[in-house]
């Protein structure tokens, strides 16, 4: 294998790694959303990733998470010797790009402006993803006649396997919430405790509203991205084989 062919293989692996990075608010891969403008790897293993977001003023904390996660994902690829992730066309791109490159964290990158790191924010959005995923898993069960009492009694291992269930397990595990076969289907995303039977209808309504909100935000962001970059509509990353 030539050096160029080897670099192409590493670049392909780097692109696959980027598919594991999600927009924290939308809970979708940045590749599927079209946010990865390019990903290249030199023959020496130097990776360069360029990201674009729907607007110039996308929240800097969300943007920082995506740039940092992209950097971590790519540097973990075998054959990558160094990585540079460049956020383009964003009002805080200079601070974000420099902070991630120096591995300074959010607070130091925005010295005097930020007061806390982003772990709590990430957890907050993961809890929303758990609620949205609960709705995605429960809706077919309700449609097939499952009652609130039945849903409350179900464990994850008793639910028919689907991509939605696998995704829910993954989001719960990311929060150290119960995600094995014996875990209840309906849990409080904060405590991990099984939902009390009288609270099941409200819990399901909250799950539905959360899922609807995330889907609405995703649609809005896709539309803004397509308007901002008409030559690279949302989803173009998938067409380029990035996820």
Rounded to whole angstroms, how far apart are CA atoms 158 and 136? Answer: 16
- Is the domain of 36 the same as that of 96? yes
- Is the domain of 189 the same as that of 229? no
Closest alpha carbon to 54 in 173, 229, 237: 229
pTM above 0.85, yes or no: yes
**Six-digit token string for 110:** 């925005």
pLDDT at 237: 42
Rounded to whole angstroms, how far apart are CA atoms 185 and 183? Answer: 6
- Is the domain of 107 the same as that of 8? yes
Tokens 């904060």, residue located: 190
R_g of the chain, CA atoms, integer Å: 20
pLDDT at 29: 98
Rounded to whole angstroms, how far apart are CA atoms 212 and 138? Answer: 14
Domain count, the chain: 2
Domain at 72, CATH number: 3.30.300.130
- Is the domain of 79 the same as that of 51? yes
Phi-psi region of 35 (alpha: psi -120 to 50; beta: other; left: phi over 0): alpha
- Is the domain of 80 the same as that of 134? no
Rounded to whole angstroms, how far apart are CA atoms 69 and 71? Answer: 5
> What are the 10-residue block averages of pLDDT along the chain, 243 residues in total?
90 97 98 97 97 97 97 97 98 97 95 87 97 98 97 98 98 98 98 97 98 98 96 50 38
Cβ count within 10 A of residue 230: 8
pLDDT at 62: 96
- Is the domain of 71 the same as that of 92? yes
pLDDT at 239: 34
Closest alpha carbon to 49 in 92, 13, 25, 5: 13
- The parent domain of residue 30 ranges over 3-117+222-239
Q: Are strands 82-87 and 46-51 parallel, antiparallel or unpaired?
A: parallel
Contact 36, 19 (CB under 8 A): no
**Six-digit token string for 195:** 């939902």
pLDDT at 169: 98
Helix 163-174 and helix 119-143, axial crossing angle in degrees, nearest 10: 150
């Amino acid at each position: 294998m030539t050096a160029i062919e080897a670099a192409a293989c590493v670049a392909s692996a780097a692109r696959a790694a980027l598919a594991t990075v999600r927009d924290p608010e939308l809970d979708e891969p940045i590749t599927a959303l079209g946010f990865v403008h390019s990903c290249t790897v030199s023959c020496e293993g130097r990776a360069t990733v360029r990201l674009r977001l729907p607007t110039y003023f996308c929240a800097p904390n969300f943007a920082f998470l995506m740039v940092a996660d992209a950097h971590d994902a790519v540097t973990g690829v075998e054959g990558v010797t160094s990585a540079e992730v460049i956020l383009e066309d964003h009002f805080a791109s200079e601070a974000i790009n420099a902070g991630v490159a120096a591995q300074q964290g959010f607070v130091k990158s925005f010295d005097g402006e930020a007061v806390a790191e982003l772990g709590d924010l990430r957890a907050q959005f993961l809890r929303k993803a758990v609620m949205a995923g609960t709705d995605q898993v429960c809706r077919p069960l309700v449609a097939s006649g499952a009652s609130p009492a039945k849903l409350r009694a179900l464990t994850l291992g008793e639910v028919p396997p689907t991509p939605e269930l696998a995704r829910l397990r993954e989001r719960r595990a990311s929060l150290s919430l119960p995600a094995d076969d014996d875990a209840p289907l309906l849990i409080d995303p904060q405590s991990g405790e099984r939902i009390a039977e009288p609270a099941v209808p409200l819990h399901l309504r909250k799950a539905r509203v959360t899922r609807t909100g995330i889907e609405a935000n995703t649609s809005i962001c896709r539309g803004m991205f397509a308007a901002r970059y008409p030559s690279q509509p949302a989803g173009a990353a998938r067409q380029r084989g990035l996820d």
